[in-house]
Amino acid sequence: MSRSGNVWDNAAMESFFSSLKTERTARKVYRTRDDASAEVFDYIERFYNPQRRHSTPGVYEPRRV
């Protein structure tokens, strides 16, 4: 994180959580916490972009595990 007051600090995570909420968890009711956890895990590992685009066009950076 950079110094306080920088509005771009959390932009990437806010974008991710917005996508998660609208694409997977919106208007769903989970029976257990484990069901919800499995749904989020599935979204992150299989649905969400598995390769992050590099700042240079045509160059991909593999996802770090």
What pTM, to 2 d.p., does this model score? 0.56
pLDDT confidence band for 31 (50 / 70 / 90) = very high
Residue pointed to by tokens 């240079």: 56
Question: φ, ψ for residue 51 (rounded to 5)?
Answer: -125, 130
Half-sphere exposure of 59 (CA within 13 A, CB side): 4
Task: Compare 29 and 23 and report the one with higher pLDDT.
Answer: 29
Q: What is the CA radius of gyration of the chain?
A: 15
Q: What is the pLDDT of residues 43-64, one digit of tens each?
A: 888 877 665 555 556 655 555 5
